[in-house]
Structure 1
């Protein structure tokens, strides 16, 4: 039934001003996913109740998901009819103004509740969401409907928190995804009347080259889709994942950088998601199913299942000829509320490239599982089972539109009544007229004096007063909870206060104040004067005692730690000292660890040799801190396989030595290397360092002189991090010395040869002289 109501009506369980069913023409409910939700129809100007079919009146209409309210916003007289457009009651919020509200670091539910609470005037709308993402948005000068759904602005709910909207009269649900997979599979066949499809093969990608931060590439370069053989040739695309940073080179010490192999693994995982979740290796498709045309075909029964799905639901579309299945989502529909059937459904294939959503957003969201005590629940179940199993008597009355179960035959004398009709199910202990203090209504409300549950999972719980027991109360100081030992926790203005069994305040958790001007300056965790403060955990799973891992002593300004300390930022000691009592005589230690198991770095004083050791798993960097307090200049680094100096090494008149004692060497043989030939092949150049290469950022400026490592194979050393070639200076010195030796040998040989030649010339001269030749 299509009923019409006055503009200010608040009770919609009755028929209001009457039904429009008999005279309404071409009624059509239309909804787009996260878009318009409207009801359009024609109505004769002189038909009954036509005087009510005008602006601001409310219409209750059957939709695929039950009755919904729409308010008339447009009416246009045409040839004896009114063309009427009504928008879902949700759009009442488009006239309710939000002047200024700043949502800071809140989940979906908290954000939506704040937005609805910031409107210019009160309303009846409620909000719920399952979006756990925390985000921030300042909403200034827009209406409430726009604040939720305007994706053209950056500071709206849909832009910051995302999600899909489910509008159910005055209840607004913003969910990660609405709809379900109802296991509906349909077959697409070309030229089928009433089933039109647009398939786009240009978006298919079957071979991806992932690029991480600063051009990071995989060793294998590309990753293929499992479906690559389904296409005549690979469809290659480069996708950038800017959040995947490897801890190499200048980024070795960055907190957000991953070990190189882990970065490679993450790139591979993200590409896998492109294929398995985003389905980037499948074509995109949109489908329009027009049931009026489709009903005239023999294949209509194959598609009748589409009448059982809802907006946001997913279906499988099987392309037999192409041998491919595509997952499609209901993105819009048109619905006849009189026939209670769809006239048209539009489906869109699910496809979204993951690369643009950010690394963090790709992490799977895991639901928390909490163990609860169920003894009270089991007792309630047993009680309910007993009541139902031992119920005797009772009378069942079937009336027009409802079912009654009563304690007498006569409805006028019955006291205990269960009543079930289209609007809900309820129980009255005071007769047919009620009140029904236990009820489930069709608008989603559950009314009860007592509720026994196992796990209650809710985004928003509204409470009145909980009469739990005598250990919970409110007094002039605030809300308090007291345990059996007389210890209390107070919730009062400004924070939480903790009282021991001697009625002494021991500590406080709340807002911290600036002692100079008494302004709020942050958060404070504090202990009372001469009270100790500890952070700890249970010694065992069964114990009620907590073993401290950090404690501020009662009478001394001394903070003790009983476990290793993990620091993710600076530790400012303010001229105080870090020391280790237990190891002070055997050598004090400061150990630096990460989330991984094992010690990652240490500063150790070895008492046996009086030496200080500084070391870590990946390397050590020493230098002069820059202004940011993090990076260094003129530093010296110890890395795996090499030590690197980033400025000149001044020996201050001393020397550099390298052990060369023959007693330390094994299997010595005389080298056959021709050092002179090797030096002759070397190429020496004048050059400047390429500062566009990140590897050269800390190298000196200006004209340089040196050799090319590529022309000195006997001196080459491959940098393990950058794969660039360096020259072994130690070998170069030895090579130069060897070349000098070989030159000396050549000179001596030449001198001997020259002396022999001179003697031969002298002998020849003597002979020629004796012969009278000269």
Structure 2
């Protein structure tokens, strides 16, 4: 046997998004009629009866605490089935029967409960997965939460939704997660799992026969027993021809089971086109296989299994295997009437967590009707019906809960105090002022609401001296002279100057606080050190560009500041721990930009003043993989390298750019104008790689000439020796 555990709503582990590992308030042993119910894409609930303790019970004190704390928003951890272990449920209703001295409890899966009462302004994201979409919604929720999303679906889609509850964003509205990605839900405590296909096929097979106690069959959806096959295919010359059968229709083998055939036109154009078929015989072959392929001549079967009743029959042993399946699992059913194997899925179950066994199980396909669109396949039609009927039951539960609160169906007590000459009105959640928690109090000083009893504190109050205190205010137009200590969400602010300070709360480990100033000239955002307010980084956006500045003791550090403007990026240095990539269509040039800032200077290449590059080395990318059309230099018509070296002189000179800065140092080098075209660029710059390569070729030519001279010297030596 397995008993649930009760926790207070403010249990620290639960508040921090963890399944509690402690024993909570204790184990619920005075429990009866315990039923866990979970429905495919629907409500996940736990209901039970709990009896008040007797004075003579050995555990009276413990049971008294448990009974008193079985109230709204408390949390119960209970085993939900033999596969998924224990899950958390939050109590939604707690009704006390004073005559029978017991409470009727209804609890909802913690994620369904909490997210049905949490909303967001809007999420608009492009090309994201369902898990990313839901996590964006959870982060955008106006009530901070500890829930996260998980999915095994990697397909991306656009997701846009606004002014919905988080539960509606998951399911129950057009554009929801389920509507967009067709996911299958699992409510796993603080993780919402979005499966591509939840459940599995455990190899469970049963044979169905009518008139069996504890087994109820429901036929759903229209069937098709006669089709009109047709196809429109390309005639090969840009036109189209239509194919149909001379007999017009094809009948299913069970066409006579209904008083009239149920007919549907079926378009085989894509199948014919894909297979390259062009004849009536091929169309007939495809049509004859359609019923076997789709199974649309067989009604959709829903089976409801009552294990309690079924256990009383001799046939129970044949169905006991159903106790081995879970929600969304696939079960194979052999149907005697149709002499056909039908695959169906587990749609719903109820489970006794105390005795750890199934009470009921519902098997069946999603309900749909082919008449909704005469030319849709069965699969498309089922998905369409899911989409149209997307008002899942747990959303309806949330709507009902809100309606009950507003219309008073959740109960309430009105007290005039004192009875003789009343001076105030109290509207309470119990009839006793000493035990009530939720109190609306009205007297000559004002109106107040407390969730901690009549003694307060009254955190929401409107006093006659004009003060109004509230945690949350909804208004069409709010006019004020000053607004202090405020968080504004999803709003448009119109002002000549807007200034805001973002200061971390006490105990926040963040070393920074933030300041934002908005004015007509631009925006300034500062990240300020809490230990020294004169140390901060600043981002300024204005009409001239974007400036990133670093201040130390109130003084700007220019060597650590960067600007982006119409002249480009101005930064004293670029630091990186890995590679730095400079991408350009042509060249990267290092130039002095001082002239660019002078009016009338257009920054043309003719006016460039070049500056040095200093580095440990320069590496030329020169792989054979990037080159082609190879010809040895000596086989080309180019002038010999040795002749280039002889003709291009080396000079001593001063740079005009240096003279402008009163620098008179002399340099040595070559003149681009004296070099052949293949060693220079744009007629004014030297290609250093080509020059070095030319020197290499010169060395090779020189070496070849030296070898030739050695050979001639050796020949002369031999001649001299012979003459001697």
TM-score, with normalisation over the residues of structure 1?
0.42
> Comparing both chains, which one has the higher relative contact order based on Cα–Cα distances under 8 Å and sequence gaps of 6 or more?
2
Choose between structure 1 and 2: higher helix proportion: 2
